[in-house]
Amino acid sequence: MTDIALLLAATLLGGMVFFSFGFAPVLFAQLPMEQVRPLLRGTFPYYYLAVIALAAATAAAAWMVSPLAGALFAAIAASTLYARQILMAQINAATDQGDHSAFKRLHGLSVVIQLIQIGLAGWAVVLLG
């Protein structure tokens, strides 16, 4: 079970790091902003679903090896559920209304959540290793 938990955890961590530090920055560097925004807006619901599902599966597998690691992955799943169902809608509404102040605040919160999640996933991988 340790190997399965570790593989799931590494997949989750790698995907989160790649999306945050690979995919999104390349879009901003390669495409005009008017193309990047709708592309990312359309991508996030799927990204969040993938993170929720993979984090939940990883939590279940990791729990048997390390309850703390399992709890960390469960926290990632729960916070991603919040980000997808509540925060993303608020960010989109702020964008649609042209409320730049609210967008910056809410987007900043989503970035902080993502960075904390990456840190938690890294910590959990170490616990599983």
Residues 38-96 pLDDT 10s = 999 999 999 999 999 999 999 999 999 999 999 999 999 999 999 999 999 999 999 99
Residues 6+ apart with CB under 8 A from 123: 72
- Residue 1 confidence (pLDDT) above 80: no
**What pLDDT was estimated at residue 75?**
98
Q: Which two tokens stand for residue 91?
A: 């960010």
Q: Which two tokens stand for residue 37?
A: 């925004």
The domain locations on the chain are 2-128
Residues 6+ apart with CB under 8 A from 7: none
Max Cα-Cα span within the chain: 49
**What pLDDT was estimated at residue 96?**
94
Q: What is the mean pLDDT of residues 30-41?
A: 92
Round to whole Å and give the CA distance between 53 and 77. 7
- Residue 8 confidence (pLDDT) above 90: yes
Q: Which two tokens stand for residue 75?
A: 């926290």
Residues 106-127 pLDDT 10s = 999 999 999 999 999 999 999 9
**What pLDDT was estimated at residue 65?**
95
**What pLDDT was estimated at residue 87?**
98
Judge whether 85 and 22 are in contact, CB under 8 Å. no
Judge whether 76 and 117 are in contact, CB under 8 Å. yes
